[in-house]
């Protein structure tokens, strides 16, 4: 027998494991709810009856929260990130052609690789291809209004579409949504799951939107507004907007498994 105790078992100090790096347990950073809209936001009337009133129960992240579904290129089709072509029947959809691109990052600034990003929107007239949408603006026969992409190794994603129009909705009698694109993002763990909306720089409806103004933090609201990115535009073809999305940071498990948290 080797008389020397293994390094991981210093029985004198009753310390069975070596001191591990900080940020090493794989859980996510606590969500800062002060930058998110509260569940109950009376100015957005639909939230009143659909908002929990009890405190959320804080849950230390377990394997159920730090894991989440894994997607791959097999889940997607070749036209999924091209909304100009993925529903075209006899021509291109009507509207301003735009490219939307950006990175999915986490709060540490690292790109989130190979994660699924889904997006949906109204057409250029502000009408959704949805059987429950009855707005008088016409359906565009060549526009579906949805797509998806997988981020690359650096967290980068991009897609092509037409700029959505604003539209009226029933909140106050004369409420209008600013032009926006809905985003759904996964991240590496189910606790990072996020749905949000991207808005366009300069839209005068932004400061008076009852949904946008549920966000209590001015900077957080500004981060939902995509700037025009002329450098990424295609001359004589499409303007471009840049939209980065930040998911919760992770107390990385990189010493044991790089894929889990980087």
The catalytic site residues sit at 128, 167, 177, 180, 182
Nearer to another protein, 99 or 226 (CB): 226
> Whole-angstrom Cα distance, residue 249 to residue 158?
22
| 3-state SS class at 20 | coil
> Whole-angstrom Cα distance, residue 22 to residue 251?
8
258: enclosing H helix or E strand: helix 258-261
Nearer to another protein, 185 or 240 (CB): 185
Cβ 165 to another protein shortest distance, Å: 14
Cβ 158 to another protein shortest distance, Å: 17
Cβ 260 to another protein shortest distance, Å: 4
Provide the b/e sequence for 37-62 (b: ≥16 CB within 10 Å). beeebeebeebeeeeeeeeeeeeebe
Nearer to another protein, 166 or 189 (CB): 189
Instruction: Give the residue among 149, 166, 164 at the shortest CA–CA distance from 101.
Output: 149
Nearer to another protein, 56 or 173 (CB): 56
Please name the residues in contact with 70: beta carbons below 8 A apart, sequence gap of 6 or more: 114
Cβ 262 to another protein shortest distance, Å: 11
């Amino acid at each position: 027998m080797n008389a020397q105790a293994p390094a991981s078992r210093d029985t004198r100090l009753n310390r069975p494991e070596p001191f591990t790096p900080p940020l090493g347990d794989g859980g996510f950073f606590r969500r800062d709810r002060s930058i998110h809209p509260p569940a109950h936001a009376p100015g957005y009337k639909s939230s009143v009856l659909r908002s929990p009133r009890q405190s959320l129960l804080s849950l230390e992240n377990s394997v159920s929260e730090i894991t989440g579904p894994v997607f791959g290129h097999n889940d997607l089709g070749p036209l999924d990130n091209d909304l100009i072509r993925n529903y075209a029947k006899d021509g291109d959809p009507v509207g301003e052609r735009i490219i939307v691109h950006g990175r999915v990052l986490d709060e540490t600034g690292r790109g989130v690789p190979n994660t699924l990003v889904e997006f949906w929107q109204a057409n250029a007239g502000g009408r959704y291809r949805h059987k429950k949408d009855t707005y008088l603006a016409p359906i565009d026969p060549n526009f579906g209004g949805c797509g998806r992409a997988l981020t690359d190794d650096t967290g980068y994603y991009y897609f092509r579409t037409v700029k959505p129009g604003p539209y009226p909705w029933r909140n106050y009698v004369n409420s209008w949504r600013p032009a926006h694109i809905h985003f759904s993002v996964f991240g590496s763990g189910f606790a990072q799951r996020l749905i949000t909306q991207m808005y366009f720089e300069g839209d005068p409806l932004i400061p008076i939107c009852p949904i946008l103004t549920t966000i209590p933090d001015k900077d957080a609201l500004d981060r939902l507004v995509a700037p025009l990115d002329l450098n990424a535009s295609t001359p004589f073809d499409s303007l471009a907007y840049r939209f980065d999305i930040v998911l919760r940071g992770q107390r990385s498990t990189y010493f044991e498994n790089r894929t889990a948290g980087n």
